[in-house]
Structure 1
Amino acid sequence: MSYILVPVIVVLMGMVVYSLVRGIIAFLKSTRDDLDRGDAPGASEMQLLQNKMMFNRIKYQAAAVLVVVLLLAIAKS
């Protein structure tokens, strides 16, 4: 079972890094867009993408933690 869960953890960690990088890029672009945009109301497209990527990062991290808990439970028994 651990032979299956270890690659799953690696994939989830890769997805965490991908979401983090995309979120940071969206953050940098939204900062630049906010300066150009002025006082326009509402969230910009980049801000919405940033929120989505950071939420995805949290989901993938939680899934990775659950897989680690499963691995530890398997190793204990």
Structure 2
Amino acid sequence: MNTFIIILLVLAMGATVFALIKGIVAFLKATEADLNGTGPSISAQKQNKAMMMRVTFQGVAVLLVALLMLLSRGN
């Protein structure tokens, strides 16, 4: 059981890094027109989506660590 949770944890951490890199790339592709326009640009929407993905994956990773700690505490 612990091995399965560790595998899920590694996957969640990998997904977090992927989402972080995706957000950084979207941020670097922002142009001055994107920054000075009215309303959210397509680049800004991509950045927001990547940030939400990263936060979600980080939350999953934290929950898995907590679960792993609870399970190992009982042994």
Cα RMSD (Å) of the superposition?
1.3
Amino acid at match of 1:41: T
Equivalent in 52, 55, 66 of residue 55 of structure 1: 52
Name the CA shift for 1:5/1:37 in 2 (closer, same or farther; >3 Å).
closer
Runs of 4+ displaced beyond 2 Å: 36-40
Question: Over residues 31-53 of structure 1, what are the superposed CA-to-partner deviations in whole Å (9 max), with x where a residue is unaligned?
Answer: xx2x1457421111111000110
Structure 2 unaligned segments of length 5 or more: list them. Answer: none
Structure 1 unaligned segments of length 5 or more: list them. Answer: none
Question: Over residues 19-73 of structure 1, what are the superposed CA-to-partner deviations in whole Å (9 max), with x where a residue is unaligned?
Answer: 000000101111xx2x145742111111100011011100000000000000000
Q: TM-score, normalised by structure 1?
A: 0.89
Amino acid at match of 1:42: G
Task: Decide whether the 8 Å contact of 2:19 with 2:50 is kept in 1.
Answer: yes
Amino acid at match of 1:16: T
Q: TM-score, normalised by structure 2?
A: 0.91
Matching of residues 3-14 of structure 1 within 5 Å: 3-14=3-14
1:27 corresponds to which residue? 27
State percent identity of aligned pairs.
35
